[in-house]
Amino acid sequence: MAMTTITRFAPSPTGRLHVGNIRTALHNWMLARKAGGRFVLRIDDTDAERSKEEYVEAIREDLDWLDLAPDVEERQSARLALYEDAFEKLRAAGRIYPAYETQQELELKRKIQLGRGLPPIYDRAALKLTDDERAAKEAEGIAPHWRFMLDHEEAITWEDGVRGPQKFDSSQLSDPVIRRADGSWLYMLPSAVDDIDMGITDVLRGEDHVSNTAVQIQMFTALGAAPPRFAHEALLVGKEGKLSKRLGSLGCDAFRERGTEPEALVALLARLGTSQPVEPIAARETLVNTFDLSTFGRAPAKFDDAELDRINTAIVHQFDYARVADRLPEGMDEAAWHAIRPNLERVGDAGEWWSIVTGPVEQPAFDDETRAYLAQAAEALEWSANPWGDLTARLKNETGRKGKALFLPLRQALTGMNHGPDMGELLPLIGETEARARLQSAARG
């Protein structure tokens, strides 16, 4: 029987989700959905100092807004006993050892190694301590931090879903610190333990985790588990080509404030950094069905506000009335939405256009000849199934005007604007009495 695909998104609740996190969450959700699998939200809240409940709530709200609901939610703070068990197992197997250096001492070692042209790798000095030396450290009140001992005999290899074959010389990696002196956990071990326990089959994350993956593959093996499939996608950069601090602050709250639709953000991020075209696809199913790791490129993916705005505008133009009804001004019905929609960049702009229908409008000053023409239009206006088509046909016939000279003064008098919604759809919304009153008012000047 085929194994169910299970992916996970594992944010730390130490701040709001930003655009890079959102992309990771989306791609993991899509990977699971395409395979008919499960998507796990894992809240990495082992850092009790920095983790905040308000951010846990915000993460849930943001995923909900994006329609990326997880199938299950787990919290690392509720799973500490599992990490303790794994720690003891690895310790008994001789894969974890205590180290006593301070940050300053480690920093000095790194500087000396770099000065000698050597890679700044931990020298395993802690392993050379005798039992007496360790006891002396403890007697001084120095509590150890704990490192995972890499197996230097074996090269670390895996087939990466984006980067292809990967190979690391484990002797060129430092034994990672997995637990601090105060007993709190760092990312590495709890993450591997959870991936095993939750049956995670695919880990899709940013390429900044590649060396973590090399280390974690040995942790999986040491814990007697097969590693999941790994894929590391290129990171997002700003359009100027470098990782900007701004991208780190662009979160769902910022997108909501500027009137970005979740469908637009999803359509952009789904394909950003792939060989597939970024298109205003509102249908989630289409995006899921075309999701393919083999289309992901190695170059940084450029996030561009202008591209998001372009996608957003095109998506708004696809929305039917039911999708937006609760966000429209009072009295604005389906016919009004249909008339005004092609002029919108954001749904929130509908109110400005709707005010053209409800009035009053500010008309420009017209010259005498145009005022006479508008007076004639007020007389010629007859209500029918197609009042705009009938009015302009009649005026063309009576005045010989055509093109801009025929249409523009009428639009200016009726809406106060030089451009805007299709007048054939707008005029019935304004209504006969109001339309005639506006033409007469413009004619009087």
Does some domain include residue 134? yes
Q: How many CB atoms lie within 10 A of CB 39?
A: 22
Tell me what pLDDT residue 445 has: 82
Q: Map residue 328 onto helix, strand or coil.
A: coil
- Residue 417 and residue 436 in one domain: yes
For residue 360, whether the previous peptide bond is cis, meaning omega lies within 30 degrees of 0, is yes
Q: Are residues 335 and 365 in the same domain?
A: no
Q: State the pLDDT at residue 286.
A: 97
- 306 touches 336 (CB < 8 A): no
Q: Could you give the 3-state DSSP secondary structure of residue 431?
A: coil
User: Is 338 within the bounds of a domain?
Assistant: yes
Bridge-partner residues for 231, per DSSP?
Answer: 204
Amino acid at 337: W
Domain count, the chain: 4
Identify whether residues 91 and 171 lie together within a single domain.
Answer: yes
* SS3 at position 166: strand
pLDDT digits (tens, 9 = 90+) for 246-258: 666 788 889 999 9
Q: Are residues 367 and 396 located together in one domain of the fold? A: yes
Same-domain pairing of 58 and 91: no
Averaged over 196-208, what is the pLDDT? Answer: 97
Q: Looking at the structure, do residues 196 and 163 belong to the same domain, yes or no?
A: no
* The two three-digit tokens of residue 419, written as one number: 């451009």
Confidence band (pLDDT; 50, 70, 90) for 274? very high
Q: Tell me, yes or no, whether 440 lies in a domain.
A: yes
Pure H helices in 12-147: 19-34, 53-65, 80-92, 103-115, 131-139
Q: What is the mean pLDDT of the chain?
A: 94
Q: Has residue 150 been placed in a domain?
A: yes
Residues 90 and 158 in one domain: yes
- Residue 251 pLDDT: 86
Q: Are residues 363 and 417 in the same domain?
A: yes
Structural domain contains residue 244 = no
Please report which confidence band the pLDDT of residue 241 belongs to, taking 50, 70 and 90 as the band edges.
low
Q: What is the CATH number of the domain that holds 55?
A: 3.40.50.620
Are 373 and 230 found together in one domain?
Answer: no
Residue 265 lies in a domain: no
295 domain-assigned: no
Q: Which residues pair with 230 in a beta bridge?
A: 203
The whole-number pLDDT of residue 86 equals 98
Domain containing 115 — which CATH number? 3.90.800.10
Give the three-class secondary structure for 263: helix
Above pLDDT 70, what percent of the chain?
Answer: 98
Residue 245, annotated as binding a ligand: yes
Residues facing residue 43 across a β-bridge: 75
Cross-strand pairs, 98: 146
If asked whether residues 68 and 196 sit together in one domain, one would say yes
Structure tokens at 244: 């900007």
Is the pLDDT reported for residue 243 higher than 70? no
Q: How many CB atoms lie within 10 A of CB 155?
A: 11
Residue 169's domain comprises: 82-179
The CATH number for 375's domain is 1.10.10.350
What the block records as the tokens of 282 is 């509102």
- Please write the tens of the pLDDT for every residue from 96-153: 999 999 999 999 999 999 999 988 999 999 999 999 999 999 999 999 999 999 999 8
**Helices 368-380 and 387-399, packing angle to 10 deg:** 130
- DSSP letter at 275? S
pLDDT 10s digits, 41-74? 999 999 888 899 999 999 999 999 999 999 999 9
Do 421 and 378 share a domain, yes or no? yes
Report yes or no on 129 lying in a domain.
Answer: yes
* Cα angle for residues 235, 237, 239 (degrees, 5° grid): 150
**Closest C-alpha among 345, 298, 297 to residue 317:** 345
